[in-house]
Amino acid sequence: MASTVIKGGTVVTADLSHDADVRIENGVITGIGPGLTGDTVLDATGCYVMPGGIDPHTHLEMPFMGTYSSDDFESGTRAAMSGGTTMVVDFVLPGQGQGLMDAAQMWHNKSTRAHCDYSYHMAITWWGQQVWEDMEASVKAGITSFKHFMAYKGALMVNDDEMFQSFKRVGDLGGLAMVHAENGDVVAELTARLIAEGNTGPEAHAYSRPPQVEGEATNRAIMIADMAGVPLYVVHTSCEEAHEAIRRARAQGKRVWGEPLIQHLTLDESEYFHPDWDHAARRVMSPPFRSKAHQASLWAGLQSGSLSVVATDHCAFTTEQKRFGLKSFAQIPNGTGGLEDRMPMLWTHGVNTGRLTPNEFVAVTSTNIAKILNCYPKKGAVLVGADADLVVWDPKAEKTISAATQQSAIDYNVFEGQKVVGLPRYTLSRGRVGYADGAVIPQEGHGEFVAREARPAVNRALSAWKDLTAPRPVQRSGMSATGV
Ligand SMILES: NC(=O)NCCC(=O)O
Ligand SMILES: [Zn+2]
Ligand SMILES: [Zn+2]
């Protein structure tokens, strides 16, 4: 059996750092220690050997706002590998009235060209008996996390009663509830008012989605999840109001996780005031970029552990697609890219600034989400028996981010001109080198679907507590129910 050895590096995991070689056979790690040998040797001198990144929030070839996001599973996972990410988790989006498993099959059809492994979350985009039934089939098929959009009124949004029903079902199935937390009713009204007042430019997208709409929805989702007895994952947490709700919930013992994006950590609202319409529109996403004070809150959350995961919400639209909204910001397709840049940008602005240790970097880019999504230690680990999804990270390598050299299919990059220090030397997907010394070594179709099991232990713990604390009638002697 052919073997590969990564030699001379420092293994960095979420728990510890130690000098060791790593041997790989048949796509899995079979040895970690000094003096290992193998058929192929990858030189890791001066490098960190870390679990490959997991991006738990992508929208590849997503049907949205009258078009499709432009990176598909081929270009998206190529970008991922180039940036040290070895697994993406995309969202299956059933159409109105469409069965969940029918939609899942559509996503399986799209993902056949992936260069790295992938998994799915299931979106609950409508509610009915069929959805309730299909949720069990989804869990059995390895799709155990269920996303609810509290925004995009008239399209993807679900109401509170639907969300409560769905959360209870997710809890019973041992799944994970997820939310895009923005108050969609308020956003719709603010949007209409801004347009009526002649506020139609991309900056008005940010005005229509102030931090309050996110803070309110985050808190509401947390409370509904608590009443339903289900663990909750809040995607793209962008502001102090939402972070505060998550922080408070965690301090109260609730099972809630928050996910800031690399874009919100490093880009701010001033992007929307740029005199070039294209520049501003290319950065339209929901929630929008915030002030530097909100950024500071997100960084503090990663440092203190109140926020758990850094993702991208990679949903890339070309300039031509963004121009659908020339007359009104409400028609600009929402979304930005970042798959190739998440790890280098977080290393540069997180580790190189002293905000994060290398071990914390591994935790928030890979290990934490592998545990939350129940695919650890197959993913997110450097352990014997784990998949050899690895990145050999050169902390001294540098580049300037540019659309001209990126893998993504779109014609710009929101991080254009940013100098990053810290890049992959090699990226390996199940032992296969898919990126080496600045070049992708593509293999379409190498990526495999990662089916995930439900995580009933957390849900059982929550429901045991619910049972213990459930409302009970007071037994009173000598009185009947009618009081007679
Ligand atoms: N975030 C965004 O603007 N677009 C992608 C869809 C979503 O996650 O809301
Ligand atoms: Zn969203
Ligand atoms: Zn998203």
pLDDT tens digit string along 309-335? 999 999 999 999 999 999 999 999 999
CA of 334 to the centre of ligand 1 (A): 6
pLDDT tens digit string along 191-209? 999 999 999 999 999 999 9
Ligand 1 site residues, Cβ closer than 6 angstroms: 59, 180, 285-286, 313, 315, 334-335
With cut-offs at 50, 70 and 90, classify the pLDDT of residue 467.
confident
Residue 480 has pLDDT above 70, yes or no: no
Atom of ligand 1 nearest to the CA of 149: 9
Q: What average pLDDT does the segment 460-482 reach?
A: 81
CA of 334 to the centre of ligand 2 (A): 9
Which amino acid, 143?
A: I
CA of 89 to the centre of ligand 2 (A): 14
Residue 484 has pLDDT above 60, yes or no: no
What is the interface pTM, i.e. ipTM, of the complex?
A: 0.99
Residue minimizing CA distance to atom 2 of ligand 1: 335
Residue minimizing CA distance to atom 1 of ligand 1: 286
Q: Which ligand does the CA of 69 lie closest to? A: 1
pLDDT tens digit string along 86-99? 999 999 999 999 99
Q: Which ligand does the CA of 286 lie closest to? A: 1
374 with 173: CB under 8 angstroms?
A: no
Atom of ligand 1 nearest to the CA of 284: 3
pLDDT value of residue 483: 54
pLDDT tens digit string along 267-317? 999 999 999 999 999 999 999 999 999 999 999 999 999 999 999 999 999
Atom of ligand 1 nearest to the CA of 91: 8
Q: What average pLDDT does the segment 158-173 reach?
A: 97
